[in-house]
Amino acid sequence: MLDIIYQDDALIAVNKPANLAVHRSKMVGNAEEFLIELLREQIGDNVYLAHRLDRATSGVLLVARSKEMAAALGEQFMGRTVHKQYLAVVRGWPEPAEDVIDYPLPGSRETGPRREARTRYRRLATIEVPIELGRYPQQRYALLLANRRAAASARSASTWRTSTIR
């Protein structure tokens, strides 16, 4: 059963687990379960995707209860007017505590041209776990708040790329 975080007459917010494909496509191969189909069965009604998350990515997925709402939300996601924030648990304690990672990402093919990508992060918390792994007597982890937006052009250094944190 999917974890529904919020629902009303127009929208459903679902906590999408990692490694669950959102919908059928050639990209997911022989997957047997799809979030959109599981949700339809769970609520007993039609639902429509407003956006997607990669199969390996966990997070909140917005699903519309009508085609019209899905179209309106889709326009907002495509127009980059939706503000997205990500919480990430990372190994180590990034320094400085707040910074920008500037690392161009590949397009749909690893060999193709890279796209400008910047991630602004802020370290929210740190923890040391007393578990010995290899030569380290304890493990360090940090909780980060990250924002990514798409650069409209090379001259547009103040905009950010929308994408999942990898």
- Say which of 9, 54, 99, 102 is annotated catalytic: 54
Domain for residue 128, yes or no? Answer: yes
> What is the model's pTM?
0.68
Q: Is 105 a residue whose pLDDT tops 70?
A: yes
pLDDT at 159: 39
25-57: per-residue pLDDT in tens?
A: 776 677 788 999 999 999 999 999 988 888 888
Give yes or no for a contact between 121 and 146, defined as CB atoms under 8 angstroms apart: yes
Residue range(s) defining the domain that contains residue 51: 3-78
Considering the domain architecture, whether residues 8 and 72 belong to the same structural domain is answered as: yes
163/149: higher pLDDT: 149
3-state secondary structure of 164: coil
Averaged pLDDT score across all residues of the chain: 84
3-state secondary structure of 38: helix
Which residue, of 78, 110, 136, is where some domain finishes? 78
54 is catalytic: yes
Q: State both tokens at 121.
A: 């992060």
Helical (H) or strand (E) element with 106: strand 105-106
**Among 26, 57, 4, which residue's Cα sits nearest to residue 163?**
57
Give the number of other CB atoms < 10 A from CB of residue 160: 21
Kindly report the CATH number assigned to the domain that includes residue 67: 3.30.2350.10
